[in-house]
Each structure stands twice: as C-alpha cells, then as structure tokens.
Structure 1
Amino acid sequence: MPKAPDPPPTAAPHGERELQPEEAGVGPRFHRRYEVDVERTTKSPEELMSCIGQDIQHYVPDEIATFEKTTGQEGRLAVGDEFDIHIRSPWDGPVRVVEVEPRRFTLATLDGHMEAGQIRFEAGDHPTEAGALRFSIESWARSRDGAVDFVYDGLGLAKKAQQGMWTFFCERVAEDCGQKMEEVRVLTEREETDDEDDG
C-alpha cells in the first residue's frame, strides 16, 4: 500500500471545546491506514458513507468503544457535530466533524483526546474490479502528552486496542456491503519529530 499524502487543511468550525491539532501533541507522528476491498457490493460508496453517518456505532464493537453524539442531529452527519468516544481509560476522547463529502468524512480531535490530529473515513470505487469498492480509515496524529506517548508508543497497549477497533470497523463494512476480498490491510508509519527528544 503506497503512502498517502498528508491530509489537506480543513476549515474547522468553532465550538465550546478547542481543537487539539497535531502540532499540539508530543512524540512521533503516526500515519495509519486500514483498508478493505469489498466485491459484489450492494451499496455504492455514497450509500455506504451515508449509512455510516447515520449510525457509526453499528460499525464499532460495543465492548471496546461507544460513540456518544453530544452535538448535532441524530441519524445524520454534518460539519460541526461532536462525539465523545468512550473507551477504557485513558483512551476516551472527544472529536468534531470537520469535513463531510458524499464519499468521505473527517473527524478532528478536541482538547482532552488521547491523540492530537485527525482521522478520515472514505469509500470509493475499486481501482481494478468492477462492482467492487474500497473502504479506508486513515489517520494522522501524535500523542496528547508524554504519558499517552509512553502507553501507546512505549508499551504498545493503546496501539493494539486501536488497531482492533478499526479492523473490526472495516470488517463490519464488508459484511454490510458484500463480500470481503481479502484480509484488512493495515499500514502504520512512524515519523520522528523535531521535538521528540525533548520528551
């Protein structure tokens, strides 16, 4: 899987909680991508993304995480909506929807989230297989602080939980749309940052 370019800047709406952008984090920068191909799909990319926007919790394992919508209308996704994602401490974190397009949407972390950055969910036509689609979850983020960086990058505990959640998400997408062509592909790239040595 080739490395994807950095996400374009998004014009984030204002809210009661401040955004927690990537530059506010510490430690290495992680680029992660989870990708699944679905053949004989029963949904178009636009229909799939609409379904996810209506009920994102359907695609998440309840025993790992709960998406609680705190701002915005239930049953739809719009720029400015906010969620509190409840996972076992210290993984909890608020996010805001900063981009909604027919084939993708992007969430940005808010103050207090374990990470600083953004995550994008996207569906599109498969590049070579007719009647198939490709779904991906892609994030660009750093740890919120030194403690989270130690648990995530040092011990690897949060990394395993995170990978399990987003892999499940991709598999649920495949179940809802058709038939998974192969296992979920996972890419993780660790990029050193100038301030990493400062702790």
Structure 2
Amino acid sequence: MASESTDTESNQTADLLLPEDGAGPLLQRDYWAVIKDCQHPPSTVMDWVCQRFAEFAPSELCVFKRADEACEGEPLKLGDELSVKIQGAGTFGVRVIHKDAQSLTLATLPGHPEAGRITFGAYRNEHGDVIFHIRSRARSGSQFHYMGFITAGEAMQTNTWTEFVLRAAVTAGEGVVGVIHADTTELEDEPEGSDPEQDPTFIAKGD
C-alpha cells in the first residue's frame, strides 16, 4: 500500500499542464521589489499572501477563487486548487504544488493559457531589506494561446503581477523602494535539477 505522502504527491502532480506540453519559448518572468519600511519577517508576509491570495490580484484583470468553496478564507495549502477568471480569456485552473515558510508555488492545469508554474516568495537581501518576488517559468499552453499572448497577453500579465507585488508591499510596509522590476528571460530548458512538477521557480531564503 502506498504511503499517505506518496498519495499526496501523486495527487499534486496529476493532470498538470507542464511546459513540455505547451508551445513557443520557455520564458522566465520576474517581478520584484524591495518593500519600503517593512517591519515584518518574510515568513509573515507570505502568511498574509497565503491567507488573502485573491485580494492581491487585481480583479479587473483576473479573479481567483478556491475550487473548494468550503475552504474560502483559509490559508492556501499543498494540493489546493483555485479557479482563475482571466479578463477576455476565460476561466482556468491552478494547483498549489509547493509551499514552505517563505514561498508558494502554483502550477497550471489543462486548458490554461500557460503551461508551467509560478512562485510567490519573500526574503531578505544582503542589506536586510525584505523583497517580495514573483517568478513564473512557462510556455504558452497551446499554439493558439501563444499567438494570443503575443498580441495582448504579455501586457496583461505584467500588469497583473506588478500590481500583485505592489499590493503585497502596501500590506507589509509603505509600498516599494524605487520601482517594481519586471524582467523576461528566454530559457533553453528548465535549470538542471529543477522538477517542474513539484519544485518552486526560486528558493526564498533569509527570514
């Protein structure tokens, strides 16, 4: 008989829309900022994100809801699924595939416009400042979605996640220091040793 942990891992990775199932280049997109005058440890910032995730997303662009309505209001946990209604695109699904004290990772489910995952994390830099960071690593979910992303999706995604960073920064401090950084890197493949079924896109360290 399989152990409970093995069963849980199998449930988390079942039916994921992996980058290998998508179309177009594998893109790594980073959105991050230093939180101004943050008096809370990164783990507390992430507690708020997991508890109030839907509130940090701009509803005019996308709306997240728990798939299990009975869990509304509870912190996100491993294996939880959410629906996301994306303006002009439809409603799709994501699943929590990784969670630790300082990060949360969601992976896309079949039908989603992207094939991959996204990690939300908080950590300290070498100066002790708290940084909130979002990194996605994905391909378009299909050739159709790839063409749509080229025409409109990229700007919408940037607006969604930079607003998410800003809202997290306003919740945890007094906004951001300077600007919210947004960078895109085209990758040949996943970094060596990285498992797209269960690993975060970056490790958040320094609480």
The TM-score with structure 2 as length reference comes to: 0.80
1:57 corresponds to which of 46, 49, 54: 54
Tell me if 1:113 matches 2:109: no
Contact 2:46 2:102 in 1 (8 A): yes
Which residue identity is paired with 2:117?
Q
Cα offset for 1:91? Answer: 5.3
Q: Secondary structure at the match of 2:76?
A: coil
Cα offset for 1:19? Answer: 0.7
Tell me if 1:162 matches 2:157: yes
Runs of 4+ in structure 1 over 6 Å off = none
Which residue identity is paired with 1:189?
T
Cα offset for 1:28? Answer: 0.8
Aligned length: 179
Identify the range of structure 1 (86-95 vs 37-46) with the bigger mean alpha-carbon deviation.
86-95
- In structure 1, the residue matched to 2:11 is 14
Q: C-alpha separation between the residues in 2 aligned to 1:86 and 1:17?
A: 22
1:182 corresponds to which of 174, 178, 181: 178
- In structure 1, the residue matched to 2:71 is 73
Which residue identity is paired with 2:58?
P
Query: RMSD between aligned alpha carbons?
Result: 2.0
Change beyond 3 A, Cα 1:174–1:16: closer
Tell me the percent identity.
28
Cα offset for 1:89? Answer: 3.5
Q: Secondary structure at the match of 2:178?
A: coil
Which residue identity is paired with 1:59?
F
Question: Which ranges in structure 1 are unaligned for 5 or more consecutive residues?
Answer: 1-10, 194-199
- In structure 2, the residue matched to 1:28 is 25
Tell me if 1:104 matches 2:103: yes
Cα offset for 1:84? Answer: 0.5
The TM-score with structure 1 as length reference comes to: 0.83
Q: C-alpha separation between the residues in 2 aligned to 1:91 and 1:160?
A: 17
2:37 corresponds to which of 18, 36, 40: 40
